[in-house]
Amino acid sequence: MLRQWYITEHAEPPRTHDTISVRQGLMREAIDDENQVELLTAGEGQAVPTQKRITTPYMTKYERARVLGTRALQIAMCAPVMVEIDAESDPLQIAAKELRERKIPIIIRRYLPDGSFEDWGIDELIISDF
């Protein structure tokens, strides 16, 4: 008796041509809504002038890691080295030496919540713990 009640109450309704077309219509609407995503292109924000910067002049540990990793990859791919190489052959050590001498040709772009950004050169930042 309980089994019969469960089957009659919870069984799916028989599929007809109308329910299949309604479900397909709903799927098309969901796909159309998904395709209406607004894409932002790079460079839409405004650059903050150098005199009106509001972020800290200190290089963060995350920026340092990103700069060293990016520059080491460039050096490993035969990019020109900006410092004198003594006996180093490790690209990460060469990148660290370039960072100590502030000769890395990379600009750090810091995005602000309003969509604008600040560009900082490596020579403008204070690097601590290095």
pLDDT of residue 37: 55
The domain of 113 spans: 53-124
Is position 44 within any domain? Answer: no
Is position 70 within any domain? Answer: yes
pLDDT of residue 75: 97
| Beta carbons within 8 Å of 5's beta carbon, 6+ residues apart | none
Residue 26 has which token pair? 């709903």
pLDDT of residue 88: 84
- Environment class of 116 (CB within 10 Å of its CB; exposed 0-12, middle 13-18, buried 19+): middle
- CATH code assigned at 67: 3.90.940.10
Q: Encode pLDDT of 79-126 as tens digits.
A: 999 999 988 899 999 999 999 999 999 999 999 999 999 999 999 999
Q: Encode pLDDT of 20-33 as tens digits.
A: 565 566 556 655 65
Is position 23 within any domain? Answer: no
Residue 56 has which token pair? 């800290």
Cα separation, 77 vs 71, in Å, equals: 10
Is position 9 within any domain? Answer: no
Residue 23, helix vs strand vs coil? helix
Contact 104, 71 (CB under 8 A): yes
Is position 18 within any domain? Answer: no
Q: Encode pLDDT of 31-75 as tens digits.
A: 565 566 555 565 568 999 989 999 999 999 999 999 999 999 999
Is position 130 within any domain? Answer: no
Domain count, the chain: 1
pLDDT of residue 129: 78
